[in-house]
Amino acid sequence: MVRHLRAEAHAGRMLPFVVEYEDRLVGQLTVAGITWGSMCSGHIGYWIDREVAGRGVMPTAVALAVDHCFRSVGLHRIEVCIRPENAPSRRVVEKLGFRQEGTRPRYLHIDGAWRDHLVFALTAEEVPEGLLTRWHRSRPGRSTEIK
């Protein structure tokens, strides 16, 4: 798997990241399906250790990745596709202000069946100040320190 991730990253089709919290690996985030030309988009997938879920770790990671994609990589659009029953993952994109665009019926083959996914998206014009900045502004009283 690591070899595949490296090859895709080297080819410019994927950006794999590890997520660390308090000096330990707690998750993973991948910007994949990067398409150039007139589309300039990609999609994000992620997972987080249950022990740190709910602490803002994944929203911070997603916001950092989106900002990197829009500001440094040059992408215009980011999508996140989530199974409807996955409330914690939906909460991440809702906290960050991704817009829900609809449903992709039977989108991915997971656990032996084709599963529907909800589609959430964001374009660079929607976050001119950066997604991390926008998210931190929406969290009054919370620390905005990034390590």
pLDDT along the chain (147 residues), means of 10: 84 93 96 96 97 95 98 97 96 96 96 97 97 90 53
Number of H helices, E strands in the chain: 4, 6
3-state class of 1 per DSSP?
coil
Cβ-proximal residues to 145 (8 Å cutoff; 6+ apart), any chain: none
Q: What is the dihedral of CA 114, 102, 134, 55, to 10 degrees?
A: -40
Res 12: pLDDT: 86
User: What are the tokens at 11?
Assistant: 């080819």
- Domain 2-137's class? alpha beta
Cβ-contact 99, 86 below 8 angstroms: no
Tell me which amino acid residue 35 is.
T
3-state helix, strand, coil in the chain (%, to 5): 30, 40, 30
What is the model's pLDDT at position 147?
45
At residue 143, the pLDDT reads 53
36's CB contacts (< 8 A; 6+ apart) are 12
pLDDT at 8: 86
The residue behind tokens 């997971």 is: 110
pTM: 0.91
Radius of gyration from C-alpha coordinates of the chain:
15
pLDDT value of position 49 = 97
